[in-house]
Every structure is written in C-alpha cells, then in structure tokens.
Chains A and B, each alone.
Chain A
C-alpha cells in the first residue's frame, strides 16, 4: 500500500529516483537542487537504495559519468539547476544524440547575471533544442509521478531519449506538500526493473564502435530518426500517463492539460509549471464573475504538443501566454513563441505575451486576473492586430537607476 508523506519537491524527486531503481547516480550539488543529491547519497549510504554513486567534481562530469554508465548498460539518474546545466551543456547535448535514456531532474533557477538563486525556467528552456524530452510540472506529487513515468518513456524502444523533469526552484524544490508515495512493489509493476540496451552499448563481448567519424549524409539520417523519435514520444507520453493513472489513480493529462475550457470558451491563459496553481484560482474567480476564460497548462515542451494545443484552441478568440523566462531577440517569453508556432495555421486567434516572475518573483493570483481580463478584452475585439506587445506583470514598477 502507498503511504502519505509531507515532503519538499526535492524530496519528492529523490524519493521517485530511489523507487525507479537506478544503478548509477552522479550529481553535483547546486542550489536549489542540492538536497536531491544529499538524499540519494544518504539512501545509498544507509542501504535503502542499492546503487553506486559517483561524487563528481562538476556537472560536466556528472553527465559524462551517466553517459559512460548508460553505455555500460545500466539505468542512471541525476539532478541539476541553472549554471550547472549550462556547464553541463557539452555532454548534455550528446546524451540525446547518443540516444541514451538518462533521466535528470532540474530544479529551475534563473540564469545570471545579475547574481540570483531563484526560480525561472530560463535554464532548461534555453536548452530546449538539445534533443531531450522536457516535462514541466506543477506540484510535488507531479514531480514524483512524472519521474517514474519518465523512465518508462525514456527507455521505450519507440523513444530512447533522455528526459528532464523540470520544477520551479524554491516554489517546489523547498516547499512542502502532501505527497502520496507508492510502494516499491507498485512501482516495480509499472517500471521494468532494469535497463538493457540493444541499440548502443560498450561491451567487450559485443564489440561496437561508438561515434566513429560520420559523414553528413549518415548524420542526417540519425537526426531524422531523432526527430521522429521525439514525435513518437508524444504518443508514448500519453500512453504512459494513462497506464500510470490506471495503476495509481492519478492523471496528469499527458502533454497538455485543459482547465475549465469548453467549446464556448472565448479566452485562454497558457501556463507552465508551478505558476499554474495561482492561475487556476484566478480562472475560478473570473468564471464566477461570468467571464469566458479558461486555462491550458503545457506539461511537455519537448516534443511540443502542437496538435493537441491547436485542438484545444480551435474555438478560442484570444490567448495569453505567461512566461517565467524571456526569449531574447523576440521581446517575449519562450513559450509564447512556441505557442505562436503551433497556432500559425489559425489566423483568427489574437495572442498576448506576458512576462512575469523572473528571478523567483511571485506571480500572484491578482497578476493572473490582470492577464486574464486583458485576454477577455482582446477576445471581444472585432478587428485589430493579432499580435500584441508584451505586458510585464510586476508587483513593483519602480524604474532601476541607470
């Protein structure tokens, strides 16, 4: 039987990782992810987790150790944040192009400068084109559940790609919530107990050259197959989400969740991660006022669930995207651009970018109300430009001294 514990997001991540029976762990501590590494080290030290851990000197080596171990044929796990992910970039990119099903949690943290420690998905969204699958989750239960799901998706023969489970630093990593923790036997019934590579490995009994110099034509074939695997992952993510729900009774809606949207809804707000909780409150309040506005939470950014999103937005007049990150050069957030690409074939939707919550700033229910009212107003417009200038949602509007 499962049991209930009150735990932080980091504890949810380490608990899930232990339940998934990884055989090799390598991670380097960085705020706000550190307690994930501490918890796993302790679990191994006291014999709660039967695995080997490498106390590496950097994130660059953490990912490199996992690549070596995965090529050796074992299941692996790591966790990082922000600057650590940036330092890891070189082997990070390669984990996906080598098709290694590594699972890594990311406690999202803003990128410097200025010096900062607090939440923003700038770190992981900046590497969204490195070939990994990326989940963004809303609460601590979803962290635990999604890490378990991620191993299944990553090791599925139709996918064979590494996966990030991204959750907001401090908001989730350090906040405690009620979490339903499944039993080991329940997890074992959901997830195969070990990883056995058949596509890429280093084994003297089965010699293979990994990554000989490769010409462009063959490289293009590899890339094409990688892109196809990302697309197949959309289906596998849904399947695994369904299967998880059947076993554990919790449904996280695969790649996208629609909240209070029906065929009549005129406006929609799109969110990512922990901000979704406040957005739900705001939508409830505005709907009770009779405003036609709903919510869409994007759970998977890579692969981007364009078809599902298009269907959800098919009757919508205006959509607002709230980004806790920026897209340099576009003067918007990153998810806004992703949504825009997905709805490019729907010429009638008005779209409004919002930027909020950078560097861990709170995104309040009131801010979501402001955003939602703006979207409702746009939905009532008969004509005018489809794309709007970015609105910055800030609690303090004082100018910084130049």
Chain B
C-alpha cells in the first residue's frame, strides 16, 4: 500500500482524543491502525495513549475496533492468550496488536514481552518510545538516554538507554524494525511487513519525541523526529528473519549536538557527556553496519 493510499483508509481511532498539542504518537497510532485495519484487536497498556482516551472513557469507546487496557506488566502475555483463543476458533486472520509505551515494554512489561518473543507467539508489538513515563509527569525509564533530565533524574540520567530493538532482535524472532513518524513511507512499509508476518512475533520500535516531556515547540514535533534519524541517534533499520538492513541510510550524519541542543531535557548536559553520546552513536552505527553483513540466525517459524 502506498503511503497516500494509507491516508485514505478509515481511521479507526475516535476523533477528539485529548493528546498534547503536537503529539506525534497520536499521529503514529492512527497511521499504524489505518494499515492494520478493522480486523484487529488493540491492546493499549497504561501510558500516554491510554491516558488520552484511546481505550475510552466511561461508557464510550476510544476506537471502532475491540480495544482494551492490559496491565502495565502483561500486554504481551494477554495478547498470547488472545492469539491462542483465535487460533482455536480458526480465526488466525485477526491481527493481535499492542501499542505500548517504553515503560510498559522496556521496564515493567519486559518479562512478559521477552517470554512471548521467546515463544515466537504471533503478535504485532509496537513500542512507542518517548524515553520515559511521559504520561505521569516525565519520570525516568530504562529507555531514557544518559544525560537527559526527567522528573526523577533532575541532574540528568546516569545510565545509557537500553537498546530494546537489538535486544528483541536477539530473540531471533521473524521481524524487528525501528520506525519514525518523520519517515512515514518507511513506517507504513514496516507495519505492512508485520501485518504479513505469519511466522511469528513482530516487534516495531518507534522513537516518538515528546513535546511536553522533552521540551521543544509543538510545531517542531516531526522535525525533531527527523533529526534523531539524521544524526544517527535513532537509526532506521529492520531485521527480517535475522537479516539486518538499514532502511534509511544516513551517509553524512549531522553531529548529535544538532539534535541535543534542540531539547530542553538536555540543557544541563556537559561537554564530555555529549562527546560520550556521539561516541556511542558512532559505535552503534558501526555495529549496525557490521550486523548488516553478518546478521543473526533466525529461529524456526512458530
């Protein structure tokens, strides 16, 4: 499906969702669900999208498709159960989808997620990563980068960001990719691949810069996302059956300071810390280039 065709598909998320001005997560969710369509069940664990009302409010639903709140900790395993029920009923065509924040994926929900990936259950798990608990007042998560201000790291986080997509790829599941709301064609193509993946687990990790928690003007929402890719801070790649491929090449990257300087959350970052971040980014890019050549051995299909 062409990106423009996707925009013509029915929007299954209710209008009037109360996300922050300039929130690119809402845009991402609406787009993702346009690709996946109505024959889907959507799990929205506690987080921004649950908070803004995608599951609903009181007796009103937030979506035209079946949608529910898993716990923060069990999104993947509840989806495993749904998948098994549909398999029993001969309804393998239903897309079983998680749209979960980094807290529900990288931290508290990690055990359930890792278990489902290890079992290679056929689930489409999408992590929208805004690098912290942005819904509850910007607290630190395992996905917050080193040096970033959060309400629980007032002088900057001391540890580096957990590299979730690489960890998921090391589960040797059939499909892993990273996506950005600034690269819609790339994102749509990747969601389509997950939709077509009948061999097992699909994991998509999307970096969604947060207007409110990171500190930048709402109108720069997409520009910041694009900068995260152009500085190689967040490379866009996919791992299909163990084969790594960078999908948006960045032959001449911008220095990471071009990205960091736009974000209030990095306003206290020191020069040495910034240099260290650049070093890590360069290292990770080299690793990705090497993985493109070597890959990982995929697991057998479910």
Give the interface of A toward B (CB within 8 A): 23-24, 26, 52, 54-58, 60-61, 64-74, 76, 90-91, 94, 202-204, 206-215, 218
Q: Which A residues are in CB contact (< 8 Å) with B6?
A: none
Per-residue A-contact encoding for B45-81, CB less than 8 Å = 1, 0 else? 0000010010111111111111111110110111111
Extra inter-chain contacts (19) besides given A58-B112, A60-B112, A208-B66, CB under 8 Å: A52-B88, A60-B74, A61-B76, A61-B115, A64-B71, A65-B84, A67-B78, A68-B85, A69-B82, A204-B39, A204-B41, A204-B65, A208-B61, A209-B62, A209-B67, A211-B69, A212-B57, A212-B61, A213-B58
Indicate if the CB atoms of B66 and A68 lie closer than 8 Å. Answer: no
Query: B197 interface residue, CB < 8 Å from A?
Result: no
Mostly helix, strand, loop or mixed at chain B's interface? mixed
Indicate if the CB atoms of A215 and B88 lie closer than 8 Å. Answer: no
> Contact size class for B?
35 or more
Q: Which B residues are in CB contact (< 8 Å) with A73?
A: 85, 89
Query: B86 interface residue, CB < 8 Å from A?
Result: yes
Bound form: Cα–Cα A210–B41 in Å? 11
Bound form: Cα–Cα A206–B94 in Å? 13
A347, chain B: closest CB distance, angstroms? 46
A357, chain B: closest CB distance, angstroms? 34
Bound form: Cα–Cα A64–B109 in Å? 12
Q: List 9 A-B contacts (CB under 8 A).
A: A26-B81, A58-B115, A68-B78, A69-B82, A70-B85, A204-B39, A204-B66, A206-B66, A209-B55
Mostly helix, strand, loop or mixed at chain A's interface? mixed
Bound form: Cα–Cα A204–B41 in Å? 7
Of B50, B67, B77, chain A has the most CB atoms within 10 Å of the CB of B77
Among residues of B, the one whose C-beta sits closest to the C-beta of A98 is B68
Q: Which B residues are in CB contact (< 8 Å) with A76?
A: 81
Indicate if the CB atoms of B119 and A212 lie closer than 8 Å. Answer: no
Q: Which A residues are in CB contact (< 8 Å) with B87?
A: 52
Q: Which of A23, A57, A207 is close to B61, meaning CB atoms less than 8 Å apart?
A: A207
Indicate if the CB atoms of B115 and A56 lie closer than 8 Å. Answer: yes
Bound form: Cα–Cα A76–B85 in Å? 10
Indicate if the CB atoms of A60 and B61 lie closer than 8 Å. Answer: no
Indicate if the CB atoms of B81 and A67 lie closer than 8 Å. Answer: yes
Query: B185 interface residue, CB < 8 Å from A?
Result: no
Of A71, A76, A210, chain B has the most CB atoms within 10 Å of the CB of A210
Q: Which A residues are in CB contact (< 8 Å) with B59?
A: 212, 218
Of A23, A56, A71, A207, chain B has the most CB atoms within 10 Å of the CB of A207
Q: Which of B58, B64, B83 is close to A218, meaning CB atoms less than 8 Å apart?
A: B58
Indicate if the CB atoms of B82 and A213 lie closer than 8 Å. Answer: no
Indicate if the CB atoms of B81 and A215 lie closer than 8 Å. Answer: no
Query: B193 interface residue, CB < 8 Å from A?
Result: no
Indicate if the CB atoms of A204 and B74 lie closer than 8 Å. Answer: no
Of B77, B81, B94, B116, chain A has the most CB atoms within 10 Å of the CB of B81
Q: Which A residues are in CB contact (< 8 Å) with B115?
A: 56-58, 61
A24, chain B: closest CB distance, angstroms? 5
Q: Which of B58, B74, B77, B116 is close to A212, meaning CB atoms less than 8 Å apart?
A: B58
